[in-house]
């Protein structure tokens, strides 16, 4: 008997608490892929990702952009005849890839997600000017200037604060988050 679990089992374990073992129930009907509004931009369709996970194709799954391009619209989840929460699977794959530090180079999603979590952990709230560097430099010059002018206009009108607001009892909040999320390197 071996203590090593497969990639498919690892991903199923991430979903098990709320979903049981959903990946084994997939009948590969393609409904998720056919209804996905961003499937055309993905390396692999949601159906293909599930099949790849079931085949323990860890490297190919983690190198895919599929779960980073997921629009989180839940259309695939609502339409799935096996009632698999495919959107939650996409979130689980995002968490797993960040946790393992393994994702496709050049994607904004992983960098943005890490910056967001670090910001929430340190201050308790989202603050857009801290998040902007995680994506703004991928814009063209025209988009960059539009983004900066929009942010400046929001600041001048008092709609975007210069300094982030902090929550009360931040230490209690950090302890609570630490019980939920493994915090290695995020504090």
Mean pLDDT of the chain: 85
User: Residues in the chain, how many?
Assistant: 187
- Highest mean pLDDT of the ranges 3-12, 18-27, 135-144: 135-144
- Give residue 126's pLDDT: 82
d(CA 69, CA 39): 8
The residue ranking higher by pLDDT, 60 or 131, is: 60
Q: Give the 3-state secondary structure of residue 6.
A: coil
Give percent above pLDDT 90 in the chain.
37
- Give residue 39's pLDDT: 94
Using CA atoms, how far residue 1 sits from 5, 12, 130, in Å, is 11, 20, 49
Residue 19: pLDDT band with limits 50, 70, 90: low
Q: Model-level pTM? A: 0.71
pLDDT tens digit sequence for 36-61: 999 999 999 999 999 999 999 999 99
pLDDT tens digit sequence for 118-130: 888 888 888 888 7
Interacting residues of 119 by C-beta distance below 8 A, sequence separation 6+: 125, 126, 127, 130, 131
- Is the predicted pLDDT of residue 138 greater than 80, yes or no? no
DSSP per residue over 106-168, as a string?
A: T-HHHHHHHHHHHHHHHHSS--HHHHGGGTGGGS-HHHHHHHHHHHHHHHHTTSS-SS----T
Ordered by where they begin, the domains of the chain are 7-100 (1.10.1060.10), 108-180 (no CATH)
């Amino acid at each position: 008997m071996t203590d090593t679990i497969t990639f498919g089992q690892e991903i199923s374990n991430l979903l098990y608490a709320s979903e049981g073992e959903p990946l084994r129930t997939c009948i590969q009907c393609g409904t998720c892929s056919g209804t996905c509004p961003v499937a055309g931009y993905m390396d692999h369709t949601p159906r293909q990702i599930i099949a790849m996970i079931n085949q323990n194709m860890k490297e190919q799954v983690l190198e895919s952009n599929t779960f980073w391009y997921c629009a989180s619209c839940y259309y695939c989840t609502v339409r799935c005849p096996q009632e698999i929460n495919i959107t939650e699977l996409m979130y689980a794959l995002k968490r797993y890839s960040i946790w393992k530090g393994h994702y496709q180079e050049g994607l904004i999603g992983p960098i943005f997600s890490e910056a967001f979590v670090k910001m929430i952990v340190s201050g308790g709230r989202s603050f857009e000017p801290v998040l902007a560097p995680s994506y703004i430099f991928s814009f063209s010059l025209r988009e960059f200037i539009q983004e900066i002018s929009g942010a400046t206009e929001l600041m001048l009108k008092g709609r975007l604060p210069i300094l982030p607001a902090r929550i009360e009892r931040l230490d209690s909040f950090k302890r609570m988050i630490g019980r939920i999320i493994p915090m290695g390197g995020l504090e």
